């Protein structure tokens, strides 16, 4: 509880006036022992205790009545953010979450979480006497002073966006700002606690805690959490696009919360270069991954469009935008010595009938001079690279390429980026190494979009060489040894496969495993050519270069274009910008997560679950104290009334 007129609390001293008068009145009457009165004192001794208690209650009511009047005059305010016992606040830094998930409407569907939190903060600051307000929004990441909380909802820095939030950076910025301020300050974080915005496992939270601890005056941290019931909502996201010879393949996903049950039918609207079409999609559960193929004519070398579902609880996740360029051949490079393994690898990289896929096969000694600017994937079935080949492969990986290493007949002691081949091992006579465990939801051996699995259990090997090093294992043999690993290197990916498509090693050449593995990795490599047409809000690729201008060319209005999704022409570049994929994460940061991230800050969490429709964060208490004054005065008056003796008691006294 805080007070808007704290200087009036000095009037609490007036509560001692009745006590002082009572003590002075007692000194006026000196007690004299008089024998004739002892009989009367003895007769009334039994009722003396009750009279004394009555006098104490009267005195207490008078003192409490004056104290309650002083509290009411000081205008007390109880705030969920500030709490009891807080004094006057000089500066409030409001860290506002403007991410796309904050546009989810409450259960009654009237206002979004962002709109509700602005109302709550405005009312709380007004009740607290309008301390200095500094706004730090998640989209721009810049602090600015707001002259009045009444205009919070009107300024562009609090408007809706398609962006994400990074609370580690925001908290550091807030602490750095307060290091230059004086007086009592607090940081108020307004967020829906989306886990992807907080990232509790990030080691940089230690630096945030250290920055807060280094402030010359301790700063209180208050978190206003807007969880709780929300309007029904389905989110649409574009996972990726792939340019085909005669069209464009969109990889899409529909997501909804776990609370929503049953199948729903959703109309899907597709706009391609101004031409609209529609179809219906059935969402049977919480998510649905599917692909949409858009046919394009030869004249549609470049273009753009969008795909949407009807507006629901959050209008910011109902549309996905795409753009594309000319169709191009997808090239692979096989680095291997002459032999059966290289033949099968070349066949898997460019199967018959795939006209837009091509493959080139070279010797390892030629690789350092090869042109990889138009290569999507490199299949390396030779000893690990050395010398100039190492630098060439590292550059290829950094640019977004995919490199798949397979063992060779000749073991090599070299390593590449910390990865090495183990010794070549042979299966026991008459037995095979059998692939038993693989990731069915991630990686190139994952199940298909329709749920059909890869028949990886058919893979048999009599010879293998397991990779070692720091990488994620995606598949294992039945004895636990590694078959497939993945390691992210800058924008590219490094893969290790522990056998080769040579029947003196395994039946990997049967295509049950090799073909889907190669084609899926090839698709990842091809994304580096299409990625220039796609970006997320806030990504580096969306920034303006010197002399460039931004023009929106889709059908949607651009109110806050740097933080909006849409199709833009930035200089000479055509780019479709979508909300970050992290905004589709439905997980909420728990109390344990907050305790770990903000350890030692003594933060306060105000969870508004179930109260999102209530715009109040604070309550005026002066009316309650005035009612208390009235109660104490009435109680004192009742206690002062004389006690009437009954007729019976009078007769008894007369008889005596």
Distance CA 656, CA 644 (A): 20
Cβ-in-10-Å burial (0-12, 13-18, 19+) of 353 comes to: exposed
Give the Cα separation of 49 and 420 in Å (integer): 94
Residue-wise pLDDT tens digits, 253-268: 999 887 777 889 999 9
Q: Tell me, what CATH number does 271's domain have?
A: 2.60.40
Looking at the predicted structure, is the pLDDT value of residue 438 above 60? yes
Q: Could you tell me if 91 and 152 lie in one domain?
A: yes
Sign of the CA dihedral with 611 first, then 616, 618, and 620 last: negative
Helix (H, G, I), strand (E, B) or coil at 148: coil
Assess whether 98 and 138 both reside in one domain.
yes
The dihedral sign for the CA sequence 609, 615, 618, 620: negative
Torsion, Cα 426 427 428 430, to 10 degrees, reads: -120
Contacts 24+ apart (CB under 8 A), 620-627: 620/75, 620/76, 620/77, 620/127, 621/1, 621/71, 621/76, 621/77, 621/78, 622/71, 622/72, 622/73, 622/75, 622/76, 623/72, 625/68, 625/69, 625/71, 625/72, 625/76, 626/68, 626/69, 626/72
What CA–CA distances, in Å, run from 575 to 36, 50, 299, 582, 620?
A: 110, 88, 19, 20, 52
- The beta-carbon contacts of 643-651 under 8 Å, at least 24 apart in sequence, are none
If asked whether residues 111 and 220 sit together in one domain, one would say: yes
Residue 170's SS3 state is helix
Nearest-angstrom CA–CA distance, 314 and 103: 6
Confidence (pLDDT) at 84: 41
Contact indicator for 67, 59 with CB cutoff of 8 Å: no
465-474 confidence digits (pLDDT tens): 999 999 999 9
* pLDDT confidence band for 42 (50 / 70 / 90): low
| Structural contact between residues 475 and 484, judged by C-beta atoms closer than 8 angstroms | yes
Using CA atoms, how far apart are residues 253 and 45, in angstroms rounded to an integer? 88
Contact 378, 335 (CB under 8 A): yes
CA angle 305, 311, 316 (to 5 degrees): 65
pLDDT beyond 70 at 2: no
Structure-token pair, residue 484? 């497939």
Q: Give the lowest-confidence range in 34-43, 226-235, 407-416, 433-442.
A: 34-43
Q: For residue 115, what is the domain's CATH number? A: 3.40.50.410
User: For residue 282, what pLDDT band results from cuts at 50, 70 and 90?
Assistant: very high
pLDDT tens-digit readout, 145-203: 999 999 998 999 999 999 999 999 999 999 999 988 888 889 999 999 999 999 998 88
Report the pLDDT value the prediction gives residue 182, as an integer from 0 to 100: 82
Tell me the three-class secondary structure of 506-575, residue by residue.
Answer: ECHHHCCCHHHHHHHHHHHHHHHHHHHHEEECCCHHHCCCCCCCEEECCCCCCCCHHHCCEEEEECCEEE
| Mean pLDDT over the full length of the chain | 84
Provide the pLDDT confidence category of residue 483 given band limits of 50, 70 and 90.
very high
pLDDT given for residue 87 in this prediction = 56
Task: Tell whether 74 and 86 lie within a shared domain.
Answer: no
Instruction: Give the separation between CA 352 and CA 523, rounded to whole angstroms.
Output: 17
Do 446 and 339 lie in one domain? The reply is yes
Instruction: Using the CB atoms, write b or e for 366-388: b if 16+ within 10 Å.
Output: ebeebebeebbbbbbbbbbbeee
- Is it the case that residue 493 has pLDDT exceeding 60? yes
Q: Do 23 and 109 lie in a common domain?
A: no
Using only C-alpha atoms, the chain has a radius of gyration, in whole angstroms, of 37
Do residues 129 and 181 both lie within one domain? Answer: yes
Percent of the chain having pLDDT more than 70?
87
Instruction: Tell me the C-alpha distance between 131 and 119, whole Å.
Output: 16
Backbone φ and ψ of 306, nearest 5°: -150, 160
Same domain, 414 and 482: yes
Give me the pLDDT at residue 56, please.
82
352 contact partners, CB below 8 Å, separation of at least 6: none
User: What per-residue confidence (pLDDT) applies to 38?
Assistant: 63
The CATH number given to whatever domain includes residue 406 is 3.40.50.880
Structure token pair of residue 653: 């006294």
Say what the pLDDT of residue 174 is.
Answer: 93
pLDDT at 407 over 80: yes
What is the four-CA torsion angle of 560, 561, 567, 573, rounded to 10 degrees? 180
List, in sequence order, every residue forming a beta bridge with 94; answer none if it has no partner. 135, 188
Does 546 lie in the same domain as 494? no
- Which of 273-277, 348-352, 357-361, 556-560 is predicted with the least confidence, judged by mean pLDDT? 556-560
Mean pLDDT, rounded, for 7-18: 75
> What's the pLDDT score for residue 414?
87
- Tens digit of each residue's pLDDT (9 = 90 or more) over 63-85: 888 888 887 777 666 655 554 44
The fraction of the chain above a pLDDT of 90, given in percent, is 41
3-state secondary structure of 260: coil
Q: What is the pLDDT of residue 195?
A: 92
C-alpha pair distances (Å), 57 with each of 335, 635, 639: 98, 9, 8
Q: What is the largest CA-CA distance in the chain?
A: 135
Tokens read off for 585? 């994460």
> For residue 452, which phi and psi values (nearest 5 degrees)?
-70, 130
Tokens of 639: 């206690």
Identify whether residues 50 and 93 lie together within a single domain: no
Number of domains in the chain: 4
Are 214 and 271 in a shared domain?
A: no
| 389 or 354, greater pLDDT | 389
Q: Name the DSSP class of 243.
A: E
What is the CB neighbour count within 10 angstroms for residue 592?
Answer: 9
Judge contact between 574 and 301, C-beta under 8 A.
no
Q: How far apart are CA 10 and CA 377, in angstroms?
A: 79
273: region left, alpha or beta (phi > 0 left; psi from -120 to 50 alpha):
left
236, 245, 234: which is closest to 290 by C-alpha?
236
Range of the domain at 268: 234-326+537-584
Check the CA dihedral 221-224-227-228 and report its sign.
Answer: positive
| 495 and 354 in a common domain | yes
Q: CA 94, CA 188: separation in Å to the nearest integer?
A: 5
Residues 107-134 have pLDDT tens digits of 666 789 999 889 888 888 887 778 899 9
pTM beyond 0.75, yes or no: no
User: Per-residue pLDDT tens for 643-652?
Assistant: 665 544 454 4
Please state the rounded mean pLDDT for residues 555-579: 84
């Amino acid at each position: 509880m805080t007070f808007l007129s704290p200087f009036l609390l000095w009037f609490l001293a007036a509560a001692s006036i009745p006590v002082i008068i009572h003590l002075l009145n007692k000194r006026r009457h000196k007690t004299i022992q008089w024998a004739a009165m002892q009989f009367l004192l003895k007769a009334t001794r039994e009722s003396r205790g009750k009279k004394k208690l009555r006098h104490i209650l009267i005195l207490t009511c008078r003192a409490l009545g004056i104290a309650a009047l002083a509290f009411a005059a000081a205008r007390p305010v109880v705030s969920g953010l500030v709490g009891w016992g807080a004094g006057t606040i000089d500066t409030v830094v409001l860290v506002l979450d403007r991410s796309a998930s904050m546009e989810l409407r409450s259960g009654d569907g009237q206002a979004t979480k962002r709109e509700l939190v602005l109302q709550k903060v405005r009312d709380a600051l007004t009740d607290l006497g309008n301390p200095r307000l500094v706004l730090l929004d998640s989209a721009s990441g810049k602090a600015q002073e707001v002259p009045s909380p009444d205009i919070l909802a009107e300024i562009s820095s609090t408007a809706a966006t398609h962006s994400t939030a990074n609370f580690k950076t925001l908290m550091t910025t807030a602490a750095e700002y307060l290091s230059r301020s004086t007086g009592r300050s607090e940081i108020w974080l307004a967020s829906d606690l989306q886990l992807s915005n907080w990232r509790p496992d990030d080691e940089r939270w230690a630096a945030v805690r250290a920055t807060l601890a280094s402030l010359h005056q301790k700063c209180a941290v208050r978190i206003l959490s807007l969880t709780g019931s929300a309007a029904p909502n389905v989110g649409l996201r574009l996972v990726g696009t792939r340019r085909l010879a005669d069209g464009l393949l969109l990889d899409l996903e529909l997501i909804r919360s776990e609370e929503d049950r049953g199948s729903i039918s959703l109309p899907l609207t597709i706009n391609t270069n101004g031409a609209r079409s529609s179809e219906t999609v059935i969402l049977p559960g919480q998510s649905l991954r599917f692909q949409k193929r858009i046919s394009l004519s030869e004249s549609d070398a470049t273009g753009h469009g969008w795909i949407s579902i009807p507006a629901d609880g959050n209008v910011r996740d109902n549309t996905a935008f795409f753009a594309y360029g000319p169709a191009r051949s997808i090239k692979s490079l096989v680095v291997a010595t002459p032999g059966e393994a290289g033949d099968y690898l070349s066949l898997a990289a460019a199967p018959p009938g795939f006209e837009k896929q091509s493959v080139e096969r070279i010797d390892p000694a030629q690789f350092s001079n090869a042109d990889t600017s138009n290569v999507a994937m490199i299949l390396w079935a030779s000893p690990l690279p050395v010398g100039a080949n190492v630098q060439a492969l590292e550059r290829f990986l950094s640019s977004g390429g995919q490199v798949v290493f397979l063992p060779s007949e000749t073991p090599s002691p070299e390593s590449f980026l910390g990865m090495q081949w183990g010794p070549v091992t042979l299966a026991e006579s008459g037995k095979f190494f059998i692939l038993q465990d693989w990731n069915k939801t991630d990686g190139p051996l994952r199940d298909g979009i329709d749920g059909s699995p890869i028949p990886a259990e058919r893979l048999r090997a009599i010879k293998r060489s397991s990779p070692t090093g720091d990488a994620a294992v995606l598949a294992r043999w039945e004895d636990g040894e590694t078959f497939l690993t993945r390691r992210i290197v800058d924008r590219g990916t490094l893969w290790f496969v522990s056998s080769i498509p040579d029947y003196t090693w395994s039946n990997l050449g049967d295509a049950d495993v090799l073909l889907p593995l190669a084609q899926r990795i090839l698709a990842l490599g091809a994304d580096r050519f299409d990625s220039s047409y796609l970006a997320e809000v806030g990504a580096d690729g969306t920034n303006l270069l010197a002399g460039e201008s931004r023009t929106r060319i889709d059908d949607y209005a651009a109110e806050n274009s740097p933080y909006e999704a849409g199709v833009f022409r930035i200089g000479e570049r055509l780019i479709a910008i979508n909300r970050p994929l992290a905004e589709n994460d439905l997980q909420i940061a728990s109390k344990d997560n907050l305790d770990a991230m903000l350890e030692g800050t003594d933060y306060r969490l105000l969870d508004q679950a179930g109260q999102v429709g209530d715009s109040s964060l604070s309550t005026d208490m002066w009316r309650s104290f005035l009612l208390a004054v009235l109660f104490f005065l009435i109680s004192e008056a009742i206690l002062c009334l004389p006690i009437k003796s009954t007729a019976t008691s009078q007769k008894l006294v007369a008889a005596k």
